[in-house]
Amino acid sequence: MHPVSSEQHTFYTHDATACEECDLLIPATALAVGQDSCCPRCGHTLSRHLAHPERQPIAYGIAALIMFVLANSFTFMSFSTKGVGQEMSFIQCISTLVDQGYLFLGALLSLTLIGLPLVYIGSIMLVLWRVDKELHSHALRSLGRLLCRIKPWLMVDVFLVGVLISLVKLMSMADIKMGLSFWAFVGYTLMLIKMMASLDRMWLWQRLFGPTPAREVTSDASAMACGLVGCHVCGALSDAHEHLCSRCGSHLHSRKPGGLNRTWALLLTASILYIPANLYPIMDTVFLGDDSPSTILGGVVLLWAMGSYPIAAVIFFASVVVPLVKIMALFWLCYMVQRNHIDSPLGKLKLYRMTEFVGRWSMIDVFVVAILAGLIRLDNLMTIYPGPAAVAFAGVVLITMIAAMTFDPRLIWDLQQGERERE
């Protein structure tokens, strides 16, 4: 559709855009291979010119698909104690949850570990493979929007850390062996991470549909103050009265719809779920007929007593501290914006970035429970079941992630902009 010359491979000029985190207008910028374009006000990375931007994602995608097939073709982990053993395939982590009636957890693992990653890989490969061939523009736009929206929900790296933590928990109980599928899953995770890192969002949209019309922008003003709006999907600038982006077809909003009310409601829901997530058992171990339920804090105490101090610290931090701190941090940010506190906007933005980054890692404990429930099923000797807190805790993680997405960090900078205009 838009053939690229060798000079364009060496230099790439991204369109004028607005920073999605502080709304500052950014003029068109020429980048050499290896260079980044960052917002001068908040430091957010806008675009990155990578070497071979078309070939690398396809190569990593093919490698990831091969690793995924291998990860489902052999034994993932094996567990043996007192002459009794059990093998588990990767897919059994999910099927066991479904068989035991935990459909929500089974669907969650299916989407974050299999469905969405495969859709992401397939969409990138299809878009880049057909970039110079005829493919309906509506299909290209739909696939491009899909890529941007599902990326935060890919959790194969979090699951891999959960596997390693499960190993520490099991080593004191039995002999554990890692199968070929485990090493293939490590490769699948690494290739998927490399694939995501090798694709630049703004480059992709410019490559698919060409540059947007040139605009002379003021580099020290916000887009909203200049009657413009930046697309949150492709970065294209449009006039504020337009409702759809002319390049990617996304709905345009100067600020995320719903304001703070949606974020407040989600945080309140997460706070309510946080209570049963910590009071009820997240895992139930049946050993020789003896039922031993364990809460999140109980599991941390057990690991600490076993001498696994680093793992106990990771679980405590990821499953207890992070969700609570994230809820409190988002509550505080919403309160500061609502009360029109304009001090230290960059500090508030860094706090928001931290909460958005660490939120998904709280899913580690849910994945650990899924792995143990799928592996330890030794009938009358020992069996592990997910507890009711697993569903509540998964809800806390998902809802706080959505709450962070609904919070608009540009509201922080609007307060400062308003103060300047009054002066």
Look at residue 74 and tell me if it is in a domain. no
Look at residue 265 and tell me if it is in a domain. yes
Beta bridge partners of 285: 292, 384
How much is the pLDDT for 8?
45
Look at residue 75 and tell me if it is in a domain. no
Look at residue 334 and tell me if it is in a domain. yes
Residue 289: domain span: 256-418
- Angle 229-235-116 from CA coordinates, rounded to 5°: 125
Look at residue 194 and tell me if it is in a domain. no
How much is the pLDDT for 289?
63
How much is the pLDDT for 421?
47
> For tokens 């994230």, what's the residue?
326
Burial zone of 288 (CB within 10 Å; 0-12 exposed, 13-18 middle, 19+ buried): exposed
Look at residue 386 and tell me if it is in a domain. yes
Q: How many helices (H) and strands (E) does the chain have?
A: 17, 14
Look at residue 66 and tell me if it is in a domain. no
How much is the pLDDT for 183?
94
- pLDDT of the chain, 423 residues: tens digit per residue: 344 443 445 667 888 899 988 989 988 888 888 888 899 888 888 888 888 888 899 999 999 999 999 999 988 888 776 666 777 888 888 888 888 778 888 898 899 999 999 999 998 888 887 665 566 778 788 888 888 889 889 999 999 988 888 777 777 666 788 889 999 999 999 999 999 998 888 888 888 888 888 777 776 788 888 888 988 888 889 888 888 988 888 888 888 887 789 999 999 999 999 999 988 888 877 766 667 777 888 878 877 776 767 777 877 887 888 888 899 999 999 998 888 877 788 889 999 998 888 888 888 888 888 887 777 776 666 777 788 888 899 999 999 999 999 999 998 888 666 545 444
Sequence-distant (≥ 6) Cβ neighbours of residue 245 within 8 angstroms: 231, 233, 234, 236, 238, 251, 252
DSSP output for 98-148: HHTT-HHHHHHHHIIIIIHHHHHHHHHHHHHHTTTS---HHHHHHHHHHHH
Count of residues making up the chain: 423
Look at residue 128 and tell me if it is in a domain. no
How much is the pLDDT for 121?
93
| CATH number of the CATH domain containing 334 | 1.20.140
H helices of 173-308, where? 180-197, 201-209, 259-279, 296-305
How much is the pLDDT for 7?
42
Burial zone of 142 (CB within 10 Å; 0-12 exposed, 13-18 middle, 19+ buried): middle
Domains of the chain: total? 1
Q: Are 375 and 77 in contact (CB under 8 A)?
A: yes
